Amino acid sequence: MRKLIAIVVAVWAIASPALAEESIRVFDTWARATILASRPGAAYLTIESAAEDRLLGVTTPVAGHVMIHAVEKDGDVSRMKHIETLELPAGERVTLAPGGMHLMLMALQDKLSEGTTFPMTLSFETAGEVTVEVSVLGIAAQGPREAAE
């Protein structure tokens, strides 16, 4: 019986983070190559969460600090707005893409070079931590789908 409990616990321990990742999907993750290491970079992705959740923060070893930015258009003027947490309504896709929301990667260790990848960890209120691999595309890239075409 004790053995069975141990197995159940072990299976549960292995399965639960996987389940968490199942309920939240992070895809189309990419960053634009940067020219100067002293300048911030931008990363983009799409998140789809089965249940209502919230993105609390993002970390990556390549940057000292990551900020979630929305772009507010006030007439003709674009203002970047720092948002603390990103609301994820159940079953809705939230897309961060050029000209709109983006993750601003600050204090880069080095410039982001096209063709490389780096890990990025997203912390969700309910789903916990999800680590994704981010592909660095060229400075002219508009998104990973375009690159694949």
Partner 1 sequence: MASTKTTQLRRIRFSLWILVAAAVLALGGAYFVRTIGVREPPPVTVGEAAIRSEFSLIDHNGNRVTEADFLGRWQLVFFGFTHCPDVCPTTLAYIANVLDRLSGEVERVAPIFITVDPSRDTPEVMAEYVQAFHPKLTGLTGSEAEVAAAAQSFRVYYEKMEEETAPDGYLMAHAGHIYLMTPEGRFEDVFREGEQSAEEMATDVLARMNGKQ
Closest CA relative to residue 122, chosen from 57, 70, 61, 67: 57
Which two three-digit tokens encode residue 133?
């691999």
Cα-based distances in Å from 131 to 12, 33, 37, 57? 20, 20, 23, 12
Report, in Å, the least distance between residue 75 CB and partner 1.
8
Calpha distance 102→142 (Å, rounded): 12
Contacts with partner 1: how many residues (CB under 8 A)? 29
Distance CA 137, CA 117 (A): 9
| Of the candidate residues 41, 58, 60, 88, the single one contacting partner 1 (CB under 8 A) | 41
Stretch 81-100: interaction string toward partner 1, x if CB under 8 A: -x---------------xx-
Q: Among residues 14 and 37, whose Cβ is nearest to partner 1?
A: 37
Binding test (CB under 8 A) with partner 1, winner from 23, 28, 42, 54: 42
Q: Which residues bind partner 1 (CB under 8 A)?
A: 32, 35-36, 39-42, 65, 67, 69, 71, 75-80, 82, 98-99, 102, 104-107, 139-142
